[in-house]
């Protein structure tokens, strides 16, 4: 009796890995498969046999490839696999933090954050929770950020980036903007009036703690479900994740008002 496709594709890491390998890299012989997947013949050959018997891969001239049905199925399941990976890798973070600020259309695409890191700053970094991203930030050509938690070093750092020519687009709440004006009037003036930077004000209720999208990385920080802030966050450097974070930023940008260049 034919096994279910869900069983074949989802309930074996070896079969899943082989199917994704053939989708991403095309035809492979057995030696290439074993080397790339770090498997032995006794461990991978039974899985190849199952995939062949169920019409998902075919062997021709010593190499294995996806059948048309296999390619269609794996292409569709690729997003599901990525979503599983994100939920599995970051289950505690996503379960403990408030996901309300993420619009449904982007929450359904959470798999695009695949291969991101879950960062919990150490005690030595308690007063510098974003130490890990500073080199990437300094190397960024453009930065789009939503800021709902005040970090004292952010205004002078951002104004320095703007002065060096980086393109900055910053969304913040009105209380954050007012505090920045009071604490760092010169940095605020630079950020408001520079040709390559702008500030927007968000007045909505549901919001993340911090979103950063740049040409170098993305960062996502959410409030805990208990409405408390913690300084842990997800970050990564893959293009797809950066594009996801950019779309999240743009969702908030549409709901924000631009601060005029001149008072």
Q: Do 188 and 62 have their domain in common? A: no
Q: Do 188 and 249 have their domain in common? A: yes
Q: Do 136 and 52 have their domain in common? A: no
Is 151 inside a domain boundary? yes
Question: pLDDT grade, residue 144 (50/70/90)?
Answer: very high
Is 87 inside a domain boundary? no
How does pLDDT run across 42-62, given as a tens digit for each residue?
Answer: 999 999 999 999 999 999 999
Q: Do 61 and 128 have their domain in common? A: no
- Give the pLDDT confidence score for residue 261 in this predicted structure: 79
How does pLDDT run across 188-234, given as a tens digit for each residue?
Answer: 999 999 999 999 999 998 899 999 999 999 999 999 999 899 889 99
- Give the pLDDT confidence score for residue 103 in this predicted structure: 96
| Residue 27 belongs to domain spanning | 5-80
Work out the average pLDDT over 141-165. 92
* Listed residues 49, 80, 111: the one ending a domain: 80
Work out the average pLDDT over 60-74. 93
CATH classification at residue 137 = 3.30.870.10
Q: How far apart are CA 92 and CA 153, in angstroms?
A: 29
Is 92 inside a domain boundary? no
Q: Do 196 and 244 have their domain in common? A: yes
**Residue 263 pLDDT exceeds 70:** no
Provide the 10 A C-beta neighbour count for residue 8.
22
Tokens 């980086």 -> residue = 166
Of 190, 180, 114, give the one whose Cα is nearest residue 153.
Answer: 180
**Residue 2 pLDDT exceeds 70:** no
Count structural domains, the chain. Answer: 2
CATH classification at residue 49 = 1.10.10.10
**Residue 6 pLDDT exceeds 90:** no
Q: Do 74 and 104 have their domain in common? A: no
* Listed residues 80, 109, 134: the one ending a domain: 80
Strand partners, 65: 58
Average pLDDT of the chain? Answer: 92
- Give the pLDDT confidence score for residue 126 in this predicted structure: 66
Q: Do 132 and 246 have their domain in common? A: yes
Q: Do 76 and 129 have their domain in common? A: no
Which comes out higher in pLDDT, residue 81 or 104? 104
Q: Can you give 73-141 as a three-state secondary structure string?
A: HHHHHHHHHHHHHHHHHCHHHHHHECCCCCCHHHHCCHHHHCCCEEECCCHHHCCCCCHHHHHHHHCCC
* Listed residues 51, 80, 109: the one ending a domain: 80
DSSP assignment letter at 205? S
pTM of the shown model: 0.82
**Residue 118 pLDDT exceeds 90:** yes
Is 95 inside a domain boundary? no
Q: How far apart are CA 13 and CA 24, in angstroms?
A: 16
Strand partners, 210: 147, 221
How does pLDDT run across 76-98, given as a tens digit for each residue?
Answer: 888 888 998 999 999 999 999 99
């Amino acid at each position: 009796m034919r096994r279910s496709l869900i069983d074949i594709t989802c309930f074996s890491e070896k079969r899943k890995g082989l199917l994704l390998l053939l989708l991403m890299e095309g035809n492979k012989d057995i030696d290439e498969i074993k080397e790339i997947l770090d498997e032995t013949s006794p461990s991978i050959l039974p899985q190849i046999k199952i995939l062949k018997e169920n019409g998902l891969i075919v062997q021709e001239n010593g190499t294995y490839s996806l059948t048309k049905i296999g390619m269609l199925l794996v292409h569709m399941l690729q997003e599901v696999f990525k979503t599983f990976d994100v939920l599995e890798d970051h289950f505690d973070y996503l379960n403990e933090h408030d996901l309300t600020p993420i619009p449904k259309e982007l929450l359904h695409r959470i798999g695009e954050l695949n291969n991101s890191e879950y960062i919990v700053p150490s005690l030595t970094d308690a007063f510098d929770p974003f130490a890990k991203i500073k080199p990437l930030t300094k190397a960024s050509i453009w930065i789009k950020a939503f800021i709902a938690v005040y970090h004292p070093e952010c205004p002078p750092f951002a104004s320095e980036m703007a002065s060096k020519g980086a393109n900055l687009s910053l969304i913040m709440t009105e209380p954050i903007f007012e505090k920045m004006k009071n604490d760092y009037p010169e940095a605020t003036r630079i950020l408001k009036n520079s040709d390559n930077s702008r500030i927007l004000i968000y007045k909505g209720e549901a919001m993340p703690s911090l979103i950063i999208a740049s040409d170098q990385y993305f960062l996502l920080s959410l409030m805990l479900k208990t409405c408390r802030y913690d300084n842990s966050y997800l970050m990564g450097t893959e293009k797809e994740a950066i594009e996801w974070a950019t779309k999240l930023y743009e969702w908030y940008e549409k709901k924000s008002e631009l601060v005029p260049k001149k008072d």
